[in-house]
A and B are shown apart, each in its own frame.
Chain A
């Protein structure tokens, strides 16, 4: 399926610039979880910039329990064949063989995701050698920079997937942006100790101080269920949003998907936000994160 002849003849493949570059093209957009080719087409029609191909959305993983793994390659291929936009798929934390399989399928991005059951409770995948780029979750700056150190070309704040409660997405985004603001004020002699304290590679800490932002694109995820939620995350400063269960677990997925796409573009225009929020039907039934016992929280997975 992938014609590497083009690449070999013409230039250098799979550099970090090219991997991080695809995430730059997704900015200002909405990436939607889908479980069938039909849903993928609804997402594309609504203006999604990419879809995440899954067997079960996080809300169902929560209800059904059991071990959540990489999706069936057959399903991922069907979804890839059904749309022209990029297709992402998830692997378990540390499961580098699932990642090898997804790379061979030709998925456009791999999400090493806490939503699936971790395969390794100590180590994440070493992502640099892969041609396919990775996105990883984070709750704070240290976690984001460890993942970037391992080769992640895109970051998403974790939130709490499958809840429809935006509170954790807000907490994680505010944490990361607040830490970056404080880092920018630190004198250089404090950076090494800071890097040690947050468990992050020194070189990336230094880079973040200079840039005043993460060196890769940063989306929000986990609990976004309404156009207002998407715009809230955009106003807090993320580059785009993932919507998991929030669309296809709602009463009218096509309208809601379209509305969230518009809200992500016009996030700072309350008149448009008011207009697109009208008559969307039932949102997904939510779970208050504060009522979830810690062992049922997905965001704590990741090291």
Chain B
């Protein structure tokens, strides 16, 4: 399997390393023609405004939307914002997932945090919590249509969602040593 990681800006190397540890070929994608022959794409954490502006400058928007029509895509943090239809702000968005996302919803960096999440969809998800890292994180305000919520914080805030072959997480599985979210994404691509 060949998985692309959008490498315009952000922590794409961490995703690449996680994918390689799971035995798949990971490809850094900086130009639209590099989307060819990929089975799925991860949009990493980073600054969503920077990633969005670079994506527009290099003609990525339509090719990415096209890609998502048939392939799996997963956005972490900035990537979640980028995939959302509505973030309540004027910035470039792919707008493919039927989700409403609020940027920097937990506050500034001093409010960033770690939390253990129960994510039933993951392997051993009921018994072994997933260590989630939230950095200036967005929250999922609403999942519409067939987008469903995969995980929430103890206070009920939704932080992970799936819509068909698309995933979006407010947090950063690529910063943990736990590969179960990446594994889940890879399994999704096989279905």
Contact = CB atoms under 8 A, between A and B. Distances in A.
A195 interface: no
A64 interface: no
B157 A10 contact: yes
B92 to A, nearest CB: 11
B155 A9 contact: yes
Q: Chain B interface residue count: which class?
A: 35 or more
A85 B47 contact: yes
A53 interface: no
Given A10-B155, A47-B54, A18 B49 contact: no
Contacts of A56: none
A266 B31 CA distance: 9
B135 A22 contact: yes
Interface in B117-150: 132-136
Interface string B39-50: 000000111011
A261 B110 contact: no
B12 interface: yes
Interface string B86-115: 000100000000000001101111111111
A3 interface: yes
Interface string A86-104: 1000000000000000010
Contacts of A63: none
Interface in A261-292: 261-262, 264-266, 269
Given A22-B109, A28-B8, A84 B104 contact: yes
A113 B44 CA distance: 30
Interface in A230-244: none
Contacts of A15: 113-114
A50 B46 CA distance: 11
Interface string A1-38: 11110110111111101110110111111000000000
B108 A2 contact: yes
Contact of B77 (A4, A9, A25): A25
Contact of A132 (B110, B136, B172): B110
B164 to A, nearest CB: 27
B154 interface: yes
Contacts of B57: 262
Contacts of B12: 27-28
B188 interface: no
B4 to A, nearest CB: 15
B168 interface: no
18 contacts: A3-B107, A4-B107, A12-B113, A17-B133, A17-B175, A22-B109, A24-B11, A24-B175, A25-B135, A25-B136, A49-B9, A49-B47, A85-B50, A86-B47, A106-B108, A132-B110, A265-B54, A266-B30
Given A46-B53, A48-B50, 17 more contacts: A4-B107, A6-B106, A7-B107, A10-B113, A11-B113, A18-B134, A21-B133, A21-B172, A24-B14, A24-B45, A25-B45, A27-B46, A29-B47, A29-B50, A261-B54, A262-B57, A265-B7
Instruction: Enumerate the 6 nearest inter-chain pairs by beta-carbon distance, A residue then B residue, closest first.
Output: A11-B115, A108-B109, A28-B9, A47-B53, A10-B153, A49-B47
